[in-house]
Structure 1
């Protein structure tokens, strides 16, 4: 499988890193997961904008390529690897070697990989619950996807142990924040709500699209808000999932309310 490493075409199996790699040692890096293709909306410009903002926070040199350059590289890898249909793209950026907790430079390396994905843009899931092992916190970088993801890993383990379809992380004050892999939304009386970025949730790209397409209220809300809701759904780069239950409460399919967004996700 071919990938692009620092603008050079490589074989993934040939890629090696030394033990001083800062992503490996300190999680000193960022990543973007992009889902695109002929049957999906192209949001690479949104992803590149978030990555650039995050690089500034980390005092890290952001990639110099444009959104069009990124699209061209994705197309090149899809052709070389003979990939078709919907593509799942992972772009990783990390600081080059040097220093301990305090880095010695701001230069960066990047790796771009592309694979096929069969995940639908809209799907039905089962029960969603609350995590007791992980919390979110609001920081200058919490809006971005960093290579330090242990709270989400722990929440994912808890989710599987509890046999849930998805699990919700709260912030330190007990407010709804996000799920272990997605942004969280709920609908009550035909109004759409999502947690505020002040909870420490990631500023998801699909979250941004939904907010720009529908009338969405960003709130600080306790889990009781979900008990009063009519529908619950989540969003990430792959699309939107809605959930049938939270505890003893059952929920309806929010598809009608999301019609405008779903049409954007899968353009004709």
Structure 2
């Protein structure tokens, strides 16, 4: 079952071929995780969604309060019997009409849920190899930081990874700096510094990125730094890892000819779970 504009419907619902998200990528979305009926980091997701809708000039309904959206999401997870551990996609798209220029800025939304195998975050893969994807670049602009329904660079990079027997790829911007992975933000441990690209570099304004930065600021002996990362920096790193809300932390174990450890990222996974379970 899905939630379409507040109505529970069969998941086989057919959207119109005039849907603007289908025609023009005119939509934004949030990927969320539910554990025991609670949406993790929901306030951060909510405010990012509101900011994204404002940036692309969507009309935000008066009903779109934090409490209303939380109720809609949790209700659907319960109906689908996945409230103990679930992945949620909340997609908002501008209503059909017009060509590039829409007839109006009103919106519709769809909520989808699917079961996850684990409540706690854990490192799923013991080996994880990446390389750079350089066919297309992510531009350093505000739209690049949003979760829009136009993710063609990520799609083609994922295909490139499969064709080259890689687990993922790292994306670069027009300055040839590394900014993120296909499905998450990038962190690099170098000595006592944990480095991640600044949002101004064009990387996703990730929710788990924010959580990790906040968590690391509580640790002694590690400094969180936002700055440019060049491809050459990667081979000097002690550890590399990717973050997103569903996986949590995924260590990178190999980039080109260098193998990386996972000690720090494994410790962060433990601390992340402790923080979530204490709330």
Quick check: TM above 0.5?
A: yes
2:249 to 218, 240, 243: 240
The aligned residue for residue 230 of structure 1 is: 238
Which whole-Å deviations, capped at 9, do the CAs of 1:198-240 have from their partners, x for residues lacking one? 2211101000111222232111120111111100100011111
Partner of 1:194: 196
- CA offsets, 1:64-90, max 9 Å, x none? 333332232222112212225311000
Whether contact under 8 Å (1:78, 1:84) holds in the other structure is: yes
The residue aligned with 2:99 is 100
- 1:25 aligned partner: 23
Aligned equivalent of 1:139? 141
Write the distance in 1 (CA, Å) between the matches of 2:269 and 2:75: 33
SS in 1 for 2:253: strand
Range moving further from structure 2, 75-84 or 42-51: 75-84
Residue 48 (str. 1) matches residue 46 (str. 2)? yes
Structure 2 residues without counterparts, runs of 5 or longer: 218-223
Q: How many residues align?
A: 266
Deviation at residue 259 of structure 1 after TM alignment: 4.7
What is the CA deviation profile of residues 7-65 of structure 1, one whole-angstrom value per residue up to 9, with x for unaligned ones?
1121111x222222111110100011001212987112111111100111111023533
Matched, 1:12 2:21: no
Q: 1:165 to 1:266 in 2, by over 3 A?
A: farther
Please give the alpha-carbon distance, in whole angstroms, between the structure 2 residues aligned to 1:190 and 1:127. 24
Cα RMSD over matched residues?
1.9
Distance 1:140 1:79 in 2: 35
Does residue 1:121 correspond to 2:121, yes or no? yes
After superposition, the Cα gap between the structure-2 partners of 1:257 and 1:94, relative to the gap in structure 1 and judged at 3 Å, is closer
**Conserved? CA contact 1:129–1:247, under 8 Å:** yes
